[in-house]
Amino acid sequence: MKLARLWQPTKLLFWQFVFFNVMSSVCAWALRALPLNTAGLLLVGFVGLLNVLFGLAAAWMLVRDPPAPPGPPPA
């Protein structure tokens, strides 16, 4: 398993992976910095955990699939 396969900016899955990781960080920041009530804590925590799971799934799919060959993107 090569971690260098994570870097595939020509694939949409790569950008979804980046988005899920950024959203997980935003949720973690919100949990620490914002004065949320219990429902807000549960909601933001649940969304953050979902983002982590989706980000891990995207990373796993990127690592499993071979990288796209260099050249022009398919039409």
d(CA 58, CA 16): 7
Residue 55 has pLDDT above 80, yes or no: yes
* Ordered DSSP codes for 4-35: GGG--TTSHHHHHHHHHHHHHHHHHHHHHHS-
Residue 75 has pLDDT above 80, yes or no: no
d(CA 7, CA 56): 14
Residue 52 has pLDDT above 70, yes or no: yes
pTM of the full predicted structure? Answer: 0.76
Check: CB of residue 31 under 8 Å from CB of residue 41: yes
Backbone angles phi, psi at 46, to 5 degrees: -65, -45
Confidence of residue 72 (pLDDT cuts 50, 70, 90): confident
